[in-house]
Amino acid sequence: MTGRLVGGLEAGGTKFVCAVGRGPDLVAETRFATMTPAETLARAVEFFQCQPSLAALGIASFGPLDLDPRSPTFGFITTTPKPGWARTDVVGPLRRALGVPIAFDTDVNAAALAEQRWGAARDAGSVVYVTVGTGIGGGAVVNGRPLHGLAHPEMGHMRIPHDRTADPFAGACPHHGDCWEGLASAPAIAARWGQAPERLPDDHPAWVHEARYLALGLVNVILTLSPERVVLGGGVMARAGLLERVRAHLKELVAGYVNAADVVAPALGERSGVLGAIALALAQDGADG
Ligand code: ZN
């Protein structure tokens, strides 16, 4: 593959992944645990400084983020509950050290971009990527660009119908209780049933609720954004049969009113974050033909 080398940084709450490549075949990669902001960003700077000169860097970060280039806190992680990381300038130290153009976006917007370029949404013009794990996050690519607004989508915190007779659980989101993430993320399942989701058997009633909650959120996303494809990933989706159950509920909920998007598993798996960062950098560099 020809083209200029770019860097990609996946900034996650538990690990950072730094990579260099011209596309999905990486030429260098390292990963390390997320420590304090100063230690972690210094380690990322050190990795990229040891690489041949880069045309651009993409950063795919956990959020919430300030993505407004006119804002004095552009490039910051803003209000995260992760200890020590609220109001952290992520872009600044890397820009000062490397002097290259930097593209900065949410991990899920970047994953949507990567799945569109190289993964499960290659022939789709508009893509939504939703991950169901320690939280629920959603990103979108519309007309070839990651979707931004006042900030960026926070699909995980949308409100969905919650029948408290069928499921009296109050929800696990510290901000909203029974928002989508509060009902259907891995910690919500664990709090509701007293066991981590991976320990629950396939026939546990948890999965009946889970499939329904995921479909209720997805139908809102699909009717709002009209994506051609929805990529549904994250640790919870590793459960055998869950994707098929979500699809069946979704079909019922849409009730034939519109052509609902295909809902598919990711093709890039755990690499969607770091490849998303590379895709952001390529888009920034204009090197994507
Ligand atoms: Zn919430």
Centre of ligand 1 from the C-alpha of residue 138, in Å:
13
CA angle 73, 63, 39 (to 5 degrees): 75
Check residue 285 and give its pLDDT.
83
Establish whether domains 6-110+269-284 and 120-264 are of one fold.
Answer: yes
Centre of ligand 1 from the C-alpha of residue 33, in Å:
26
- Count of C-beta atoms within a 10 Å radius of residue 55: 18
Centre of ligand 1 from the C-alpha of residue 267, in Å:
28
Enumerate the β-bridge partners of residue 18. Answer: 9, 30
| CB within 8 Å of 30: residues ≥ 6 apart | 17, 18, 19, 47
Residue 54, Cβ density class (10 Å: 0-12 exposed, 13-18 middle, ≥19 buried):
buried
Q: Where are the domains of the chain?
A: 6-110+269-284, 120-264
Q: Could you please state the CATH topology (level 3) that the domain comprising 6-110+269-284 is classified under.
A: Nucleotidyltransferase; domain 5 (3.30.420)
Q: Which of 11-20, 201-210, 242-251, 260-269 has the lowest mean pLDDT?
A: 260-269
Indicate the class that CATH gives domain 120-264.
alpha beta
The pLDDT tens digits of the residues spanning 73-124 come to: 999 999 988 899 999 999 999 999 999 999 999 999 999 999 999 999 998 9
Centre of ligand 1 from the C-alpha of residue 177, in Å:
6
pLDDT of residue 182 exceeding 90, the answer is: yes
Q: What percent of the chain has pLDDT over 90?
A: 90
Q: Which of 57-61, 144-148, 228-232, 254-258 has the lowest mean pLDDT?
A: 254-258
Centre of ligand 1 from the C-alpha of residue 194, in Å:
20
Centre of ligand 1 from the C-alpha of residue 264, in Å:
25
Centre of ligand 1 from the C-alpha of residue 58, in Å:
28
Confidence of residue 259 (pLDDT cuts 50, 70, 90): confident
Centre of ligand 1 from the C-alpha of residue 182, in Å:
6
**Helix axis angle, 186-193 relative to 205-225, nearest 10°?**
150
Place of tokens 């917007």: 109
